[in-house]
Structure 1
Amino acid sequence: MSEESVSEFSTELAELARDLVRIPTENPPGNEGAAAEFVYDWFREQGIEATLLEEPDPDRQQVGARVGEGGPTVVLNGHLDVVPAGDPEAWTADPYAGTIEDGRLYGRGSADMKTGVALAMLVARDLAPEIRSGELSGSVVVHAAMGEETADPGTLTLLERGFDGDYGIVLEPTDFRVATSTKGLSVYRIVVEGVATHASQPDAGTNAIDEARPLLDAIGEYDAELRDRGGSLCGGAFATVTEIEAGTGSNLAVVPDRAEVVLDRRVLPGEDPDAIDAEVEALLERVREERGVETTWTRIQTYASSSIPIDHPLATSLRDRSVEAVGGDGGVGEPWGIEAATDARNFVNDAGIPAVTWGPGDLDQAHTVDESIDLADAEIARGVLEEAVRAFIE
């Protein structure tokens, strides 16, 4: 990155987001602590009350900050963790260099969602003088949460520890669209048993990989059925195999006695996770009855879906301001639900706080090689967010 490109695009927001990107916080394993300390120290330097929480995991700290004591209160939520960058050689530049080039910030977490965290930090600081003077009667709370990428209770714990409010804005990249609903997911580990034997005598045992084939076929049929059911504001439901493991850690000449399949079931607003458990159980029972394949299963991860009315004042306010700032193209002015799971579910389902998911950046950049965000869009979002929050805490 040349010095010329730094000076050309080096705004306060760009620099803060870049500093956050430069702190690796991959999850797994979950190492948010250094970034949490950075955010905590920044707030303290700005004279803003902040807490470095060691809950729910003392090895993975997170931050809650508050400006003001009165109501109403708007909570600006972001998460510090990022998905692993993978092979750095696949990236054009070091994924943790925070490269700024041609008006974009590159690096793991640039879009998902350290620029969103930086937005929350700056908006809270910029509104602080008006809140302290009494010109604005309400308050702003900021979350720099741990564990969102793996459904850890970071945001939930922050809400439970008093960093709550009357409204929530989860600053994920949505390209200025306002999501009033979020899709959830239930993830299952399904185990297929076999009988090990030497690969030179395969008929003397039962190959767990062969036993898994009818299961994979049945999951494909289940996915087709889900797609035929119709969708919701945030799209349709899916059943997708995301991982298969068998025979690893053994001699190459051994027929495996165990195969594990990971099933990702996307959950629509209004769907009950317990009912989805029953669907998976029925699927496995059908495979057992029709093909004699014995399986066991465990739900290993759950993100609940969430929904608030599309015409909630929080949604309409952000939607109208976004259209004014960037226009209505790309569905910015239309009701929308996000296909991904977000921590809006903790606000809506656990704390009873209406919340939307909204922010700059393209969701398609999340979890990708050469992840990036347009810094001009981020600057526009800063203005939109500040005015929207100000309107709710007057």
Structure 2
Amino acid sequence: MTDALDLARDLIRCPSVTPAEAGALDCLEAALKPLGFACHRLTFSEEGTPDVENLYARYGAEGPVFCFAGHVDVVPVGDAAAWRHDPFGAEIEDGQLYGRGATDMKTAIACMVEAAERVIADGFTGSIAFLITGDEEGPAINGTTKVLDWMAERGETIDACLVGEPTNPVTLGEMAKIGRRGSFSGRLVVNGTQGHIAYPHLADNPLPRLVKMLDRIAAIDLDDGNEHFQPSNLEITTIDVGNTASNVIPASGQAFFNVRYNTLQNAAGLEAKIRAACDSVGGDYTLTVRNSGDPFLTEPGDLTANLHDAILAELSVEPDLSTTGGTSDARFIKNACPVVEFGLVSQTMHKVDERCAIADIPKLTAIYERVLRGFFAKG
């Protein structure tokens, strides 16, 4: 039988910093093929972005189909010398598994494999799939979204999905995700005319207009949240002028902002509100926006109840079914089927000395196994 801890260590030892596969998908495929999974390695490309290799694997030929989803790519380690252990050494100390990806989210993928093997060994009616990308921590262009397109072209469907992102703030079982807020980003450039500060009549300083626009953008009243979502929030993240001389009026200034928004907003409405705020100031400006993910909610139903009950049964913990936090590839999968997220404790993800508790690995595996059995019992 697959041992989730051993497989997690093998995966962590692959330095798969986005977009490098670095053997991680080879390792995962080697674990899935002997179980009877048909594996498809899928490399996607797009101009201006790195090629990314992905894996879609499926056991079974009939429905219903339960899909485990996640990513083997990891963020850079930063200063490797600051780590207690080799970031890709998968060392164990004091009951903790250390390494980049230990929490986010190679260990969860290993738990999924062991859980799937247990269910396969007992027999069931239906199929189990794995949708694993190497582009979640990067641009998220050549990963999950294109795998889903590939599946649609083949007539390949999934009926429910669990993403193994680290969802628990402090202890395993306290939180699962049943939705996420959307992410809307903008770049505002206000243009003027460069000149000497002693001769302002010969120049046009864009910065007072930029400051006024940002003040009005920050003052936009979005919403107070709703039953499942916290209030939408707009944050100005940087203001840049690039002016190194104190006696020069700059030709332009720019600012970046991001909105994390709930289901009370949409991208078109946000853009309209922000443009209206800028227009109220006037002058020469350009606004470039990008919506990297819409908000979504998996309504309470069989999938959310199944996950809730599995956590409660294994841990005697009542999980909070939440929509907080950042974005994940669930924002793409929700277009294909109902999706939930549950994984390890998130406290050390993306940090130096990323690690997870060894004791949580069999617990997470057991929860995934219960979710699978509950899904197929429903038929």
Which band: TM-score by shorter chain? 0.7 to 0.9
| Closer/same/farther in 2, CA of residues 207 and 125 from structure 1, 3 Å limit | farther
Assess, with a 3 A threshold, how the Cα gap between structure 1 residues 190 and 325 changes in structure 2: closer, same or farther: same
Aligned mates of 1:371, 1:201 — CA distance in 2: 55
**Do the aligned partners of 1:75 and 1:164 also contact (CA within 8 Å) in 2?**
no
Cross-structure match for 1:277: 271
Deviation, structure 1 residue 200:
8.7
AA aligned opposite 1:160:
D
Q: Which runs of 5+ in 1 are unaligned?
A: 1-10
Q: Give the TM-score, by structure 1 length.
A: 0.81
- 1:266 CA drift (Å): 0.5
**Mapped contact 1:304–1:341 kept (Cα < 8 A):** no
Aligned to 1:85: 77
Aligned pair partner of 1:18 in 9, 14, 17: 9
SS of the residue aligned with 2:52? coil
Q: Distance in 1 between matches of 2:51 and 2:272?
A: 36
- Other structure's SS at 1:148 match: coil
- Identical-residue share of aligned pairs (%): 29
The secondary structure found in structure 2 opposite 1:386 is helix
* Paired position in structure 2 for 1:169: 162
The answer to whether the 8 A contact 1:31-1:59 is kept is no
Structure 2 unpaired stretches of 5+: none
Q: Which residue of 1 aligns with 2:338?
A: 354
- Bigger proportion of residues as helix: 1
Secondary structure at 2:89 match in 1: coil
Structure 1 residue 64 displacement after superposition? 0.6
Deviations 1:224-246 (A, max 9, x none): x33x6334524221111223333
Structure 2 residue matching 1:111: 3-state secondary structure: coil
Q: Deviations over 1:265-306 (max 9, x none)?
A: 002135322112212212222233xxx5x3211123411111
Counterpart in the other structure of 1:389: 372
Amino acid at match of 2:234: A
Report the secondary structure of 1:322's partner residue. helix
Could you tell me whether the CA contact under 8 Å between 1:194 and 1:256 is conserved in 2?
A: yes
SS, match of residue 69 in structure 1: coil
Residue 365 in 1 paired to residue 353 in 2? no
* C-alpha contact (below 8 Å) 2:108/2:364 kept by paired residues: no
Aligned match for 2:287, one of 259, 275, 297: 297
Residue 95 (1) aligns with residue 93 (2):
no
1:40 equivalent to 2:26? Answer no
> CA 1:124/1:375 → structure 2, altered by over 3 Å: closer, same or farther?
same
The answer on whether the counterparts of 2:52 and 2:143 sit within 8 Å (CA) in structure 1 is no
CA contact (8 A) 2:71 2:133 kept: yes
What one-letter code is carried by the residue in structure 2 that aligns with 1:137?
T
SS in 1 for 2:119: helix
Q: Secondary structure at the match of 1:129?
A: helix
1:65 maps to amino acid: A
Deviation at 1:319, TM superposition (A): 0.5
RMSD, aligned α-carbons:
2.9
CA distance in structure 2 between the partners assigned to 1:93 and 1:259 by the alignment = 44
- Deviations, residues 155-193 of structure 1 (Å, cap 9, x unaligned): 222223235411111111112323222111111122222
Supply the distance in 2 between the matched residues of 1:88 and 1:49 (Cα, whole angstroms).
37
Question: Aligned AA for 1:18?
Answer: R
Q: Distance in 1 between matches of 2:231 and 2:308?
A: 23
**Aligned residue pairs, count:** 363
Partners of 1:124 and 1:141 within 8 A in 2: no
2:326 alignment partner in structure 1:
340
C-alpha contact 1:232 1:268 (8 A) present in aligned 2:
no
Deviation at 1:100, TM superposition (A): 2.5
